[in-house]
Amino acid sequence: MSNPKPSVDLLLRGVVVSMNAERDVWWDGFVAVTDGKIVDAGDASACQYEASEVVGGADTLIIPGLVNTHDHLVQGCMRGMAEGTTFQERLFGFYYPMTAACDEERSYWSALSPLVDLALSGVTTVADDHFTHLHKDSMDGVFRAIDTVGLRARVSRLVINEPGVVPENLRETIDTGLAETERLRKRWQSPLVNVTAGTVGITYVDPGDLHQLFDWTIANGEQFDIHVPSMMDKVYLEKRRGWSGGSFEWLDHEGMLGPNVIGIHAQRLAPGEHALVGERGASVSMVADMEALLGLVQFDAGSYLKHGATVSLGLDGPVVSYGQNLWHTMKSLMIAQRLHDAADRLINGDRDWDNNLIFGSAEQALELATIGGAKALMMDDRVGSLEPGKDADAVVIDLSRQTTLAPYAGLIPNLVYSGGPTAEALTRVLVRGKAVVVDGSVVGIDKAQAVRQAEKTQRDLLEETGCGSYVRKGSPWNWHGAPAAG
């Protein structure tokens, strides 16, 4: 009498991209899941499991859930408004006023649409930064939206108070900021959500407060998330801090550059700073798509990788990262780095550039968007790859439903460079084994309602704050009867 097969909750079948240390890909593979955890993964010939549910089969691709290491979800209320504006106009003209006017309910509807976008592109983990707290319950709305969609998140409550950089009504003391962080941790911290403290950038907060924020993250075993260099550092780092060197150098000088630090954007560095980041074991979030759109690219991810820094991919807020699609950032990263390298070779006299191998590959881009992001967020013991013992965060794609992925010989380049799976091809998106997307729809979400409420929230905020002049700013078209005059 033969022994019965072990029973599992869920069996995924198809081409399995494990993203394990050996980067195993099983063309006919399986992933076995029980209680939200991966029990086993490998070649189908070794599968000895019976399952309550089987998903996939022939013409199916299974990859780890994507990890977006930077966002500002509350900025969903301003989606599309960056066009035709400068950074200063955005920050002081409508970023601060509109997000400051978001209470819990407005923040919920502002964050919900971008979260739906993330889920429908296969993102299972998002890192969010929130820095306007005129309404102390504003972040509760973002947490509610995260909980509604069911994504994994690391959320940083940012303290800002530097005069000249922060409007007076948005400045708060470090004691208030940390007390609110503790309140949010008690309410929202869970197996899927980590709550941490931080600030926007070096020059957005009092230096003593910055040290207290960093010390709090160390004491609580959490991440220290900071825009570095931030847009304001160019002027204020020397003017307010008396420092003429690089922003990463300043953090290191102050004892605040280490393994729990993730630098956001992390471009326009001083000589030697790429190596410094690697030496200190810090991470960076490359926000390539947003930076390319805004023409901010002096882009070099390659030097970070060369020096051993952990590199990941982020999107930024919907105001400057419109579609909230991490696949676009994967492609933008490759394009930006290859243009950087080609320009460097030409400038330095290497005119035989067309015979040199160009930077990276689609496979490398997918690594950065999965296991790279998990490492950068200090979560690689839980997510980022399809390995036994890890949470079952996975994306299941029906290859037969998307022409851009056929034929299959160039499967990963097809996937990365064509913008990822369409909703029609998205069979499942799993977070800890729970389906948050089924057959192209986010579970439990009325998408039409989310759109209506996002539109209403923006209109109400534009009317209340008087920021309508920034909508379609500089457009030469004649918009007859459209809301919020440009």
Give the strand order in the sheet containing 394-398.
37-43, 25-34, 7-17, 50-64, 394-398, 426-431, 434-438, 441-442
Do the bridges between strand 25-34 and strand 283-286 make them parallel or antiparallel, or are there none, so unpaired? Answer: unpaired
The phi, psi pair for 27, rounded to 5°, reads -65, -35
The DSSP bridge partners found for residue 285 are 264, 312
End-to-end CA distance of the chain: 77
Give me the pLDDT at residue 5, please: 84
Tens of pLDDT along the chain (486 residues) come to: 456 789 999 999 999 999 999 999 999 999 999 999 999 999 999 999 999 999 999 999 999 999 999 999 999 999 989 988 888 899 999 999 999 999 999 999 999 999 999 999 999 999 999 999 999 999 999 999 999 999 999 999 999 999 989 999 999 999 999 999 999 999 999 999 999 999 999 999 999 999 999 999 999 999 999 999 988 887 788 888 889 999 999 999 999 999 999 999 998 899 999 999 999 999 999 999 888 888 766 788 999 999 999 999 999 999 999 999 999 999 999 988 888 887 777 777 665 555 566 788 999 999 999 999 999 999 999 999 999 999 999 999 999 999 999 999 999 999 999 999 999 999 999 999 999 999 999 999 999 999 999 999 999 999 999 999 999 888 899 999 888 764
Query: Quick check: 132 and 99 in contact, CB under 8 A?
Result: yes
Give me the pLDDT at residue 4, please: 76
The DSSP bridge partners found for residue 283 are 262, 310
Give me the pLDDT at residue 44, please: 96
What CA–CA distances, in Å, run from 30 to 7, 396, 438, 485? 14, 12, 19, 54
Query: Quick check: 299 and 290 in contact, CB under 8 A?
Result: no
Query: Quick check: 435 and 381 in contact, CB under 8 A?
Result: no
Per-residue exposure over 123-159, b if at least 16 CB sit within 10 Å of its own CB, e if not:
bbbbbbbbbbbbbebbbbbbbbbbebbbbbbbbbbbb
Q: How many CB atoms lie within 10 A of CB 54?
A: 14
DSSP state of 14: E
What CA–CA distances, in Å, run from 244 to 270, 276, 345? 10, 17, 29
Domains and CATH numbers, the chain: 7-64+390-442 (2.30.40.10), 66-376 (3.20.20.140)
